[in-house]
Structure 1
Amino acid sequence: MIHPPAEAEALAALERRSAQSFEAGYREFLSLTDGLEGFSVVLLGCHDWAPGGLAEAAEGFRRAVVESGTPEDVGIPSGTPLFPVAVNRDRSQGIFLIDTGGFAEERLWWTGEGDSLFFEGFAEVLGYLVDVDSCDPRETLE
């Protein structure tokens, strides 16, 4: 399912909520469609952050990942903000926007069910969703 584009005000509010600047590809994606369904994960849009929206599931998955210590295990510096941009329906996989403060070029991290994949940009994530052989993401930042 494709959604109407995110409004500029909603996009700005979501970026503030993320506590980091959006990766350019994710910003462009939201300006074209405010979320997207039909993959193994649902790509979240601004509308998903309304009370009762799918972002609540994504936020629950984020908390579980942080509490597990997984970010540090794969080389993400402690305290790096993780902002959910996708989650699957059973909250066992998610994609997070990360900003390591220049420590690494990768801005997106896909984790769950034993996977850890890092992508430089949102376009790589979309390509990987369509064809896993489209790129070779790193499994750790170390």
Structure 2
Amino acid sequence: MEWIGRLVRHRERQAVEDGDYLPGEWPGLRSPCTVGGLAELEARLGIPLESEYRDFLLISDGMEDFSWDGMSVLGAVDWPDSPKVARAIDFRDMIVGGRIDRDLGIPEGVRMAPIGINRDGDAAILLLGGASNWSPRYLWTGSGDSVFFDRLSEVFEWACE
């Protein structure tokens, strides 16, 4: 899981440059999720968790300030009642209600489960699933930009750029 370490090191460097980091602290990582928590999250989202997202949650049940815009990766601990989840669901519903998902070529029947939201609620990471022939598994969208990814490690690598 070197991709997690690369992102953490990248965020540490950014935090030091910004002056809001104390050496020895890991930016944004949380306690691990339990296997039972993963099952509950999967049931809530209504789609299977992608394997790298599942593995990540067993290391850190989400991550604060995952990217430059204050994006948080949501974990099982955030569901169902956190303000972040509420913002993420509102964003997802805006995408679906505005048929932006269709404009992006996402076919009907593909479910979009929010697994990340930035602090302003105007960008999100969505886990895609529910249609057996649909790939990729992730959509990072907001502010007029949309990028698709097959694996969570690709999302993490993109956050380092």
TM-score tier (shorter): 0.7 to 0.9
SS for the counterpart of 1:31 is helix
Report if the CA contact (8 A) 1:5-1:33 is conserved: yes
2:58 aligned with 1:36: no
TM-score, with normalisation over the residues of structure 2?
0.77
- The partner residue of 2:101 within 71, 79, 94 is 71
2:133 aligned with 1:128: no
Q: Percent identity?
A: 34
Structure 1: which 4+ aligned runs deviate by more than 3 Å? none
Residue of structure 1 equivalent to 2:149: 119
Unaligned runs of 5+ in 1: 132-142
Structure 1 residues 18-57: aligned runs within 5 Å = 18-38=45-65, 39=67, 40=69, 41-57=71-87
TM-score, with normalisation over the residues of structure 1?
0.87
Report if the CA contact (8 A) 1:58-1:86 is conserved: yes
Cα drift, residue 50 of structure 1? 4.0
Partners of 2:143 and 2:63 in 1: how far apart?
22
Q: Which residue type is aligned with residue 32 of structure 2? A: P
Unaligned runs of 5+ in 2: 1-27
Residue of structure 2 equivalent to 1:137: none
Cα drift, residue 126 of structure 1? 0.5
Report if the CA contact (8 A) 2:113-2:126 is conserved: yes
Partners of 1:51 and 1:86 in 2: how far apart?
15
Residue of structure 2 equivalent to 1:4: 31
Cα drift, residue 116 of structure 1? 1.2
SS for the counterpart of 1:72 is helix
2:15 aligned with 1:15: no
Taking a change above 3 Å as real, the CA distance of residues 78 and 36 of structure 1, as seen in their structure-2 partners, is same
Residue-pair matches, total:
131
Q: Which has the larger radius of gyration?
A: 2
Partners of 2:155 and 2:124 in 1: how far apart?
12
Taking a change above 3 Å as real, the CA distance of residues 13 and 70 of structure 1, as seen in their structure-2 partners, is same
Q: Which residue type is aligned with residue 11 of structure 1? A: L
SS for the counterpart of 2:141 is strand
Cα drift, residue 99 of structure 1? 1.6
